[in-house]
Structure 1
């Protein structure tokens, strides 16, 4: 095989391998699209989504937190999950630094806001889930 054919073959295989690798990376499967929770009196917004980050993963809750007001330097919250079967679960997100205009969005592809990403409670029926939020602040 001459050098030109060998080089073309190598380039073809590299391109094919790269294409297959890109296609194999899947987007998260959205199980419950973004839902806004009750806004805090001090204008802090929290919403959540439930996704499977990859086909083999457990459902994951991703949080989006937005500080509209900036009066509280640290904000946290407790999420109380319930369903129509009477099951309950609680997740506490410890207060974290948040300034006016800060938006924190957890994602499957990054650990940047890992405090806002956690496993979906296994005992809660996703089709009838209700989530109540209680905010906590610190100076």
Structure 2
């Protein structure tokens, strides 16, 4: 069977480009895997993960918010960070619209739900970090 050298070269070039493209894509480096915070009395759940979205980026906190109840049309919260060295930081998430069954998951790959993504507070020691959550509701 006669093989066309040009077609073979094109196939090899495409395979190499695909391989280089895959190698260039990096997954976020997970520093702390998803961890649940205290659930609100009105059945609203928030969990967090700490990641580096790229090898040279700062650590960021990604939040996952889930409305199990639907009672409140707007929900926000304040995150109080602390560590064993006495360092503290406060991050406020402004109340946002939500309804029964809504799930909002911030990610490195999208600006969707950017209100649930922020830089990890630099002065907080990750090894002894604690987060307390206080929920706010609004109309």
TM-score (norm 2): 0.94
TM-score (norm 1): 0.94
Match of 1:67? 67
Partner secondary structure for residue 90 of structure 1: strand
Match of 1:133? 133
CA distance in 1, matches of 2:36, 2:48: 7
- How far does residue 14 in structure 1 lie from its aligned partner after superposition? 1.9
CA distance in 2, matches of 1:8, 1:118: 48
Match of 2:120? 120
- How far does residue 9 in structure 1 lie from its aligned partner after superposition? 1.3
- How far does residue 7 in structure 1 lie from its aligned partner after superposition? 3.0
The runs of at least 4 aligned residues of structure 1 exceeding 6 Å deviation read none
Aligned residues: 137
Match of 1:94? 94
Partner secondary structure for residue 81 of structure 1: strand
Structure 1 residues 68-88: Cα deviation after superposition (integer angstroms, max 9, x where no partner): 110000000010101111111
- Which deviates the most, 52-61 or 8-17? 8-17
Match of 2:80? 80
Q: Which runs of 5+ in 1 are unaligned?
A: none
CA distance in 2, matches of 1:23, 1:99: 40
Match of 2:109? 109
- Which deviates the most, 18-27 or 98-107? 18-27
Match of 1:31? 31
Q: Which runs of 5+ in 2 are unaligned?
A: none
Match of 2:40? 40
- How far does residue 4 in structure 1 lie from its aligned partner after superposition? 2.7
